[in-house]
A and B are shown apart, each in its own frame.
Chain A
């Protein structure tokens, strides 16, 4: 239990995919303008991360490793991720059409979101077993959500600020992202400290 909590919390705070691994920056900058689409996007990403891990882990362990086919993992993981992204797209289109329209192009782009591929690859590379892999994927998804939700708040505040013309739009957004990621560096060592 203690191990699971350590994995979960360090995936959310210390090894946050957006702020310390710099993965998934495209949806992070693209969808963090509004709170509700940020939450919708991160729920979709979390779902894809957990489901993709649940499928890629058995494929890797029971199909690729026994036959020494580890080199196939990137292409097969991408195939599985693409499957789940398409699946999420069909689900959203049917049940949440408004969210489907507000996410727009960023929804199919989860396929090429390196955070999703990153989490499945890191699980395998770190030698996690099945349950820790799932927990790590969940933590990565929640960390992505935390990043998007925090940053959408910052961006909404920035809308009402008097920003100099040459900083308006992307420049000030990138600078704010850099400052938030520096703040996240302060979490290093915290999780180990909690469980000592």
Chain B
């Protein structure tokens, strides 16, 4: 039957391209002259329809017993690669091989028959590679026929191959010998040729056999047949009889074929994007994600990490707390962080604020901008944004001329809150938290307030805004709560719920140490850490927007990561922490229904009114009446109380 040959398939691994990257950058630079290259083959493959050729890190080093030598042409531009005259090139390669055949060089160095060419263009900025290999095969002798039968015991042949490293050798009787000894045999019956054959296809020889047959037919013009053993490592070996039509040896090299076909079987180059393997930014991304996934190994196999990875966090206040919160979020894999702040880095800041430096203070850079820039330096793939804005505050009187800006600022805060999943209130005053509380409530976002005293801290997750008209009366809710000790997320208090006065301008009439938050320096890290971990626990609740809080002791079975308390209050002077749970106050000046409704109805005008006159809040919530009623309460001390007092 007419002989067929299994073509080559080039597999370049990343270690090969890594070597190419290094050599191109440091050694070759613009030098385009061809370099020596060695391609590995294997006689152990038993699957696939092609002879596998591997280009790996060793390919640019030294040759081994299981490799072919070739040349690497790495072009400086894609254009140069594209406009290569591949028809002429293959003729040149063919002539080189033909010369080895004619001169008899192949008998001493058989690998000259298997010379190949690897042409490539490497984009070292984007880590994109285009390449095309050529395994020249001389179409000679004509009309090759072949028959094959299974070879019984290839073990001695394999041993010879491994001990000598010979790719092609002869077998005469029971003894193997170097190919150069072929001259000792006059008839093709006396000798077999053995070739280490990379073909995985049973009874069909690999591509290198073509040039070997061409060489034999030229070397022995009187032969028209040869026995050839195709040596395989882990599948059946076959002994083949090849025969051909005898013709006079041509003076010029016959036709040559061998440019590799692509996956679709077309004569086209291959291209591959390896940025995920080489781009340092992408490497860091993968590393960060993989490191987080270690949590899944044993500690919390079912953790929903994607809830962190996909989270969009808005941090209001880019000070000490804001910076530390961002670092905690980043460590959890959060990729989208937006800072809002209105001030610039001052000289006192960098030592406490983990995202700013001396230079930022010298240049007077914005705190939000500084923090966002630092995050990007630390982790280039993070999407960190900065917004410079002063949050409108009750009691901070507004001139009429500023109304237009007020409206714009409120619109901006609204859209920021809407675009994020969680809002951290890390602002330095009480009143600055008022408007964000209302807006987070309106959009039903997770809002977490973090506040510091000198040696105390508080972390509160605000109750999730609940707009569906509640059917259950307060009395019913109370029984529900007492039955299972759980307060639903929508019934939890906000930062302001425990207040019976409206927030006002807290910086009036304060000394410097009262105006600035003076706290024990380690406190901010503790509080930020607690806030991030409260968020991470809440996010692991089945539906995070429904994560309830236990009214007594924190319930550590609440989510995959444990308890989801409403508040965490810490007292560093005694290194103690408590987790109170407080119910929402219907008349709250921030999340109360009256305020929500007033804001929904009047928007920025309502905010303006409160800014100019915080007592407006007390009026619409009815807190003023509550205050009056307290004033009117007459307290009679009973005798029991007296006796208690005397204790």
Q: Do A and B come from one complex?
A: no
Residue numbers of B with Cβ under 8 A of A are: none
